[in-house]
Structure 1
Amino acid sequence: MSGDNRTQSPAPVISLQCDWDEAVRRANAEAWVACKFRGQPSIQGKIRSHGLSREGIPQVTATNGFTVCEISQNAIQVKHESGHICIFVAAFSIFTGIHSRSVISLAATSGGLCVSVCTGNKLQIWDTRQGLLRRTLEGHVGDVYKCRFFPSGLVVLSGSADMQLKIWSAETGQCPVTLRGHTAAVTDMCIVEKGRNIISVSKDGTAKLWSCGEASCLATLVELGTVINSCVLGVANKKMQLAAPEEPTSEHEVGTANKILLLGCEDGTVHCLAVQIRQVLFSKLHPAAVNCVAILSVDHFVVGCQDGQIFLYGFERPTEPVYCWYESNSAVLCLLPLRNGFFTGKADGSCVYHQLPARNSGESRSNVRVQLTGPDCDPVYDISFDGTYIYTSCRDAVVRKYDVLKTLSNLDSLV
């Protein structure tokens, strides 16, 4: 990819009725479709169903400059006459019995478990195959904002408005470790390697490094004068040439030597910290609050903002965006790196896969996009990948499960 500061050329956003997969299975039914260029009126069309084929596949036609190129049980490929294509993927499993209120965080494992939490402060572990509740984790006295699995898939980490982090056994539901030290709500956390250490960030403006075995805070990595909304841990690019720490590290600090920490903040700043030496390597100011950050590789990271902008950066020149997606003003709430791109969940209910710009060209592969459907304008708060399937958590209290790997594998052939 080019290191030049580039932004996306004007490209339309194609939208489709959220329950399109149900509508097209009914004869003589319709689903609306729309194409909108930023700053221009929306172009409206219809996808009309003519019943099912012998194989059970919907037979459809489209109007007003739209064409349905392909359709299956859970996916439909729609092309606008401008040449842009969107592949809409519907959930093949919908879990409605786990929570009764907005699901704000979730994490799934390859072992068939998911942990999720809702605004009713129900922290639940459940089976992703049948949607059966395994156990409820009780102990936080404030709303839980974030939940994650340790790499083993058998231990859960949670952070809460009660200023505490808790470590739980997914098998028994017991909480052997509670970490205290923040003076405001814990907003995010990440796990260092296998999990002997973790890092948390808070509305108190600090990032802290913890020893799980000792149940103690090893260090306050940074103190900022703003709320820290998100954090992500990565491996330093070799070109960063991190210095050695001035003082010996604790024997309980493991695996931090080559780690960097990205922090996304309410004042619009992103900070990159060398964890072991407690040093800020660079900072970047954005025009709106940074809600989420994600490291895509040792070379690139992405930033999602409250005003809807998504910035792609290279670590080699981290203060100059390589690319910017700005499709709407809807807040970016979560990011999930996957293959040659990333998913983003937004406040308008959209959940879109963005491909990275073509290598060495700086040009966007934006004429083809993939969008997960289901939420009806309800915010998508979190996204998780278990190695096979995508899961989303939403304000409508539903967790949705998607099969998209084959679709993503075929993207390059459509560009």
Structure 2
Amino acid sequence: PDGKTLASASGDNTIKLWNLNTRKEIITLRGHSDSVNSVVFRPDGKTLASASGDNTIKLWNLNTRKEIITLRGHSDSVNSVVFSPDGETLASASRDNTIKLWNLNTRKKITTLTGYSYLVNSIVFSPDGKTLASASADKTILWNLDTPRKEIITLTGHSDSLFSVVFSPDGKTLASASRDK
């Protein structure tokens, strides 16, 4: 978030932190036993989350550069992680056809969002944090995150797997990327 550090995920099971001014590696974070599929900074810039093919999510303290905790709950590879805009919730998307929401204060799972026939590739919070959008191999779903958490709408239109979704900064537009070109 400070624009000075880049985090990269790798198939060699590591995360690298890079200094963007010098373009040199700062450190390599090790701890996953399979490929690292996604990394994301918490909005305050003090924590990094990583998603892995080892079915886990790890939280890393960026001051000490050490692992804080491993979150377990998915039964297959975790493809994507994203922090809510307030940094209090982490969402994870998996090949197990689910999304899980995690409370970062308690470090416990809040809920599991289901309804997918295939793996979930990508997730993103709306700028106001009230909606979560997902890109799956079968569809895009918008979720209302107020209690009870429920599906708002399933968006159709792509003819093949979706890989990524992103909200515009004002939250009024959602863009999706698909294998259908």
Give me the whole-angstrom Cα distance separating, in 1, the residues matched to 2:174 and 2:71. 29
The one of 225, 244, 263 aligned to 2:134 = 263
Give me the whole-angstrom Cα distance separating, in 2, the residues matched to 1:111 and 1:227. 32
Report the aligned-residue RMSD.
1.5
Once the two structures are superposed, what CA deviation does each residue of 1:210-258 show, in whole Å capped at 9, x if it has no partner?
012222111113342211111111157xxxxxxxxxxxxxxxxxxx6xx
Are 1:289 and 2:161 matched, yes or no?
Answer: yes
Quote how far apart the aligned CAs of 1:295 are: 0.8
- Counting only pairs closer than 5 Å after superposition, residues 219-298 of structure 1 correspond to structure 2 as 219-235=111-127, 259-267=130-138, 269-276=139-146, 277-285=148-156, 286-296=158-168, 297-298=170-171
Identity %: 25
One-letter code aligned to 2:155: K
The 8 Å contact of residues 222 and 278 in structure 1, kept in 2 or not, is answered as no
The 8 Å contact of residues 12 and 34 in structure 2, kept in 1 or not, is answered as no
Are 1:154 and 2:46 matched, yes or no?
Answer: yes
Max Rg structure = 1
Structure 2 unaligned blocks of 5 or more? none
Work out the number of aligned pairs and report it.
178
Quote how far apart the aligned CAs of 1:111 are: 4.4
Structure 1 unaligned blocks of 5 or more? 1-108, 237-255, 309-415
Per the normalisation by structure 1, the TM-score is: 0.41
One-letter code aligned to 1:306: R
Give me the whole-angstrom Cα distance separating, in 2, the residues matched to 1:167 and 1:145. 14
Give me the whole-angstrom Cα distance separating, in 1, the residues matched to 2:178 and 2:121. 11
The one of 288, 297, 307 aligned to 2:180 = 307
Give me the whole-angstrom Cα distance separating, in 2, the residues matched to 1:136 and 1:288. 36
- Counting only pairs closer than 5 Å after superposition, residues 23-62 of structure 1 correspond to structure 2 as none
The 8 Å contact of residues 125 and 170 in structure 1, kept in 2 or not, is answered as no
Aligned to 2:60: 168
Quote how far apart the aligned CAs of 1:132 are: 2.4
One-letter code aligned to 2:15: L
The 8 Å contact of residues 13 and 30 in structure 2, kept in 1 or not, is answered as no
Higher relative contact order (Cα pairs below 8 Å, separated by 6+ residues): 1
Once the two structures are superposed, what CA deviation does each residue of 1:270-322 show, in whole Å capped at 9, x if it has no partner?
111101221111112221111111111332111111121xxxxxxxxxxxxxx
The 8 Å contact of residues 85 and 125 in structure 2, kept in 1 or not, is answered as no
The 8 Å contact of residues 177 and 212 in structure 1, kept in 2 or not, is answered as no
Are 1:202 and 2:66 matched, yes or no?
Answer: no
Per the normalisation by structure 2, the TM-score is: 0.91
The 8 Å contact of residues 116 and 136 in structure 2, kept in 1 or not, is answered as no
One-letter code aligned to 1:299: K
Give me the whole-angstrom Cα distance separating, in 1, the residues matched to 2:154 and 2:14. 36
